[in-house]
Amino acid sequence: MQDVKVKLIEDAGKKFSKFRELTAQEGEEKAWETMLEGFPELQKQRMGPLLALPTLIEGFRLAIPTFNAIGMEMEAIDISNNGIDAALEIQKVCPYLEVSRDYGFDTPCHVICELDMEASHRAFPEMKGEILCRQALGSPVCIFKYERPAKQQS
């Protein structure tokens, strides 16, 4: 599993470097859109099978081993209520904090997490995502909330 962690950090480094380069060339707004090119389709491939399950929590629970394998110590909590299918994704470890600073970013949030959220929203417009707290800003964990209309039980 160490190889998976190393690849994750290498890929993050490439993302930070590319974003820095694009921002210098085109400005931040254009860099953001350029970074998103093709990303929603990738999110559909990655997340689609998990989100096709009857509830978000089922998909998130299936993702826990993958996140834990890269050292993020994930937990998922079902917060569904009032016709809304919803889950909290809690990450106890942020592997991006150090690498973001190596590339001149105070936090990894804009380049990693916010980009992921936007790509997920574009891939799955019926689903809303929100970052509730961030380790990079002093919280003990990162918490992401996802919600969508509950699927009708047949």
Those residues whose C-beta lies under 8 Å from the C-beta of residue 95, and which sit 6 or more positions away, are 5, 8, 9, 12, 70, 71, 72
Q: Is residue 25, in this structure, part of any structural domain at all?
A: yes
Q: Specify the pairing of strand 142-149 against strand 84-91.
A: antiparallel
Q: What is the pLDDT of residue 75?
A: 97
Those residues whose C-beta lies under 8 Å from the C-beta of residue 21, and which sit 6 or more positions away, are none
Structural domain for 24, as ranges? 2-149
Q: Is residue 81, in this structure, part of any structural domain at all?
A: yes
Q: What is the pLDDT of residue 5?
A: 77
Count Cβ neighbours within 10 Å for each residue of 91-116 and write b for 16 or more, e otherwise.
bebbbbbebbeebebebbbebbbbbb
Q: Is residue 54, in this structure, part of any structural domain at all?
A: yes
Q: What is the pLDDT of residue 73?
A: 93
Q: What is the pLDDT of residue 1?
A: 52
Q: How many domains does the chain have?
A: 1
Give per-residue pLDDT as tens, 15-47: 999 999 999 999 999 999 999 999 999 999 999
Q: Is residue 154, in this structure, part of any structural domain at all?
A: no
Residue 24, domain CATH: 3.30.1380
Does pLDDT of 119 surpass 90?
yes
Give per-residue pLDDT as tens, 71-89: 899 999 999 999 999 999 9
> How far is the first Cα of the chain from the last one, in angstroms, to the nearest whole number?
40
Q: Is residue 83, in this structure, part of any structural domain at all?
A: yes
Does pLDDT of 92 surpass 60?
yes
Those residues whose C-beta lies under 8 Å from the C-beta of residue 116, and which sit 6 or more positions away, are 43
Give per-residue pLDDT as tens, 126-154: 999 999 999 999 999 999 999 999 987 65
pLDDT band at 2 (very low <50, low <70, confident <90, very high): low
Give per-residue pLDDT as tens, 58-74: 999 999 998 988 889 99
